[in-house]
């Protein structure tokens, strides 16, 4: 968020315009309480589930890493409507956000493409901007990282059996990230002796796990340096296998894009599964 704030402000200056929103610098707004009192287990910072394997590894042999590949897929407004129509029509079925719906679909497709056994635990990392979830909300233009994470965990068999089960737990985990949860997370981090041990990387998202970050509500198409708005904005690369981004369409036509990195063999299957709506 702050990176886009910088780029968009830079483009304003290049056009001779005033900066629309001045940066607000005050890190005390996101410091831990005194004393720190975390009141949730914060499994988002726990290690990701490993693959269940009944095949013993030959530790004497050289292990080669599988090739990964990145691809991007467009889902139109009608695709998303068809996806939503797959949900049960029960009167007690909660209303799911589009992000929740897409995340459940991608999680299902990735689990199928990877061929995960039914009993395999899989963890989904959902990045959340905490600026408006904190109470009081942070001032507009707050400069800094205020990302929190919701992490639903399910057995692969429940993820692939349909959208409803996965969507329910995703929405539930997203909804619980309120001010109390965010403050508890800040306290939890304050008590950690080595924050570098919590840094997320390839070990976080790789098979059987997944991370999905939405850029849909970010001002990613606002940077006009004097020759018009960008024709495309997205990640220049995706560093880790199992990491995905949801991007809005520059045409504002209701379509969304999924940019994702997977093992090459899994991507071949995913390319077909993502459009099975």
User: Which domain covers residue 73, as residue numbers?
Assistant: 2-43+67-273
H helix or E strand, kind and range, residue 71: strand 68-75
**Position 58 in a domain:** no
Q: Span 111-126, mean pLDDT?
A: 98
The answer to whether residue 260 is domain-embedded is yes
User: For residue 54, is pLDDT > 70?
Assistant: no
Give pLDDT, residue 149.
Answer: 98
Each residue's pLDDT tens digit, 141-183:
999 989 999 999 999 999 999 899 999 999 999 999 999 999 9
When pLDDT is cut at 50, 70 and 90, the band that residue 248 belongs to is very high
Instruction: Give the pLDDT confidence score for residue 63 in this predicted structure.
Output: 63
Is residue 15 one of the residues assigned to a domain? yes
Q: What's residue 126's pLDDT?
A: 98
Say if 254 falls within a structural domain: yes
Instruction: Categorize the per-residue pLDDT at 64 as very low, low, confident or very high, splitting at 50, 70 and 90.
Output: confident
The mean pLDDT of the chain is 93
Q: Which helix (H) or strand (E) holds 82?
A: helix 77-85
Residue 55 has pLDDT above 70, yes or no: no
- If residue 243 lies in a helix (H) or strand (E), which one and from where to where? strand 243-248
pLDDT for the residue numbered 89: 80
Is residue 205 predicted with pLDDT exceeding 60? yes
- Structural domain total, the chain: 1
Residue 42: its pLDDT value, please?
Answer: 97
Find the CATH number of the domain harbouring 164.
Answer: 3.30.559.10
Say how far apart CA 236 and CA 259 lie, in whole Å: 10
- Asked if the structure places residue 61 within a domain, the reply is no
Q: Is pLDDT of 35 > 60?
A: yes
Indicate whether 60 belongs to any domain. Answer: no
Using the predicted structure, report yes or no on whether residue 23 has a pLDDT greater than 80: yes
**Cis before residue 208, ω within 30 degrees of 0?**
yes
199 located within any domain: yes
Question: Is 62 domain-assigned?
Answer: no
Stretch 259-270: mean pLDDT? 98
């Amino acid at each position: 968020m702050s990176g886009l704030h910088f780029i968009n402000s830079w483009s304003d200056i290049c056009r001779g315009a005033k900066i629309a929103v001045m940066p607000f610098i005050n890190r005390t707004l996101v410091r831990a309480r005194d004393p720190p009192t975390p009141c949730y287990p914060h499994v988002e910072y726990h290690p990701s589930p490993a693959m269940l394997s009944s095949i013993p590894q030959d530790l004497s042999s050289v292990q080669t890493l599988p090739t990964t590949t990145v691809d991007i897929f467009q889902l139109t407004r009608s695709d998303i409507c068809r996806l939503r129509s797959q949900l049960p029509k029960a009167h007690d079925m909660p209303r799911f956000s589009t992000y929740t719906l897409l995340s459940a679909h991608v999680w299902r497709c990735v689990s199928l493409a990877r061929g995960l056994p039914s009993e395999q635990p899989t963890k989904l990392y959902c990045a959340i901007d905490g600026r408006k979830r904190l109470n009081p909300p942070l001032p507009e233009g707050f400069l800094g990282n205020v990302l929190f994470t919701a992490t639903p965990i399910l057995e692969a068999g429940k993820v692939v059996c349909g959208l409803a089960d996965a969507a329910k737990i995703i929405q539930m985990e997203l909804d619980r990230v309120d001010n109390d949860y965010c403050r508890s997370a800040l306290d939890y981090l304050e008590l950690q002796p080595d924050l570098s041990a919590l840094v997320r990387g390839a070990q976080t998202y790789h098979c059987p796990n997944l991370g999905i970050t939405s850029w849909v509500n970010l001002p990613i198409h606002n940077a006009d340096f004097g020759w018009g708005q960008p024709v495309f904005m997205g990640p220049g690369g995706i560093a880790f296998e199992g990491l995905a981004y949801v991007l809005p369409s520059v045409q504002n036509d209701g379509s969304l894009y999924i940019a994702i990195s997977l093992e090459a063999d899994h991507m071949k299957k995913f390319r077909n599964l993502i459009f099975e709506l």
